[in-house]
Amino acid sequence: MTHPLQLTPDGRLRHLLTVEGLSRPLLTDILDQAERYAGQPSSNRGSSGSRGLKVPLLHGKTVVNLFFEASTRTRMTFELAAKRLSADVLNLQIAASSTSKGETLLDTLKTMEAMQVDMFVIRHEASGAAHFFAQHAAPEVAILNAGDGRHAHPTQALLDMFTIRRHRPDFENLTVAIVGDILHSRVARSDIHALRILGAKEIRVVGPRTLIPAGIEAMGVTVHNDIDSGLADADVVILLRLQKERMVGAFLPSTGEFHRDFGLTKARLETLKPDVLVMHPGPINRGVEIEGDVAYGERSLILEQVEHGIAVRMAVMGMILGDEGAAA
Ligand code: NCD
């Protein structure tokens, strides 16, 4: 079951809060819509891109980016996506806003609604912040979750699926390994839901015991505390950053030790399938979960993920605000 707030009674996207429970047709429809914006895949890596593309779909609509946590690629690609759809885009500078004077989230929402905003893109350190907004938003206002605490990061999962699908559309044959700090990662959770919806053959989470949540097998994954068994025969490796800002206390002896035991080095990459796809939502910590040479090496899709973020976010915004939503 998807979140009851998320869909209209006729099954169209109303908000995007989580990928959990989205139907396969609806998820696939989002990826298909994104194809329209992403440009042609080039012969090898990447695409010819959507550079310069501008469509009038959201002309006259106003989108506000509310980022209570740091972000580079997510915030900027949301902004680019909205601009390419011809929306007016505002970015609230949180540190310079009234939230720093003690205004509550709800008061911020109501204040902006009075400015006739059509869509809020929200990132917040509290799990559930986007749901809270969706519960209290006026009927004509849409909420997009750009990451809430450890809970969900739906557009990241969608752009990850889009990127995988461009190279390997055969999800039912794919073994995907998600490596690193699973415990604190909203990306891991959203990717797992999306991969299950698309029918991935096997999903593994790989990392030290301290960074894998107890009971995660219930999400339909297998747990590996050893990198070599975790990566053996993997078709896709998704690396995650150690989310130090969410760690209370010591989860690891040292980052050096983590790199030795779980980092994707060139030497380790050479032991994997020759056509393995290496992904990372960013920001990367070079020399910790990934070696710099691997991050920008020929197996890496990291920059493609960034680029695809624009097309996928355009697709979601267009489906919600642009009268293009298809019923699932
Ligand atoms: C991730 C996030 O913020 O959840 N990054 C992103 O959105 N591209 C992962 C992270 O911060 O490590």
Residue with structure tokens 């990451």? 147
- The predicted model scores a pTM of 0.94
Q: How far apart are CA 120 and CA 122, in angstroms?
A: 6
> Tell me, what's the pLDDT at 248?
73
Domain 154-302 falls under CATH 1.10.1760.20? no
Task: Report the separation in Å between the CA atom of 282 and the middle of ligand 1, taken as the mean of its atom positions.
Answer: 6
User: Is pLDDT of 27 > 70?
Assistant: yes
> Tell me, what's the pLDDT at 326?
40
User: Is pLDDT of 227 > 90?
Assistant: yes
| Homologous superfamily in CATH for domain 4-153+306-321 | Aspartate/ornithine carbamoyltransferase (3.40.50.1370)
Q: Is the CB of 124 under 6 A from ligand 1?
A: no
Going by C-beta distance under 8 Å and a sequence separation of 6 or more, which residues neighbour residue 114?
none
Share the mean pLDDT of the chain. 92
* Segments of the chain assigned to CATH 3.40.50.1370: 4-153+306-321, 154-302
Task: Report the separation in Å between the CA atom of 231 and the middle of ligand 1, taken as the mean of its atom positions.
Answer: 22
> Tell me, what's the pLDDT at 70?
86
Taking only the tens place, the pLDDT of each residue in 240-282 is 999 888 887 778 888 999 999 999 999 999 999 999 999 999 9
Task: Band the pLDDT of 45: cuts 50, 70, 90.
Answer: very low
Pick the atom of ligand 1 nearest to 74's CA.
Answer: 7
Q: 45 or 253: which carries more pLDDT confidence?
A: 253
Q: Whose CA is nearest to atom 12 of ligand 1?
A: 241
Taking only the tens place, the pLDDT of each residue in 77-104 is 999 999 999 999 999 878 777 776 777 8
Q: How far apart are CA 44 and CA 50, in angstroms?
A: 17
Q: Is the CB of 282 under 6 A from ligand 1?
A: yes
Task: Band the pLDDT of 108: cuts 50, 70, 90.
Answer: confident
Coil, helix or strand at residue 61:
coil
CB 159 within 8 A of CB 309: yes
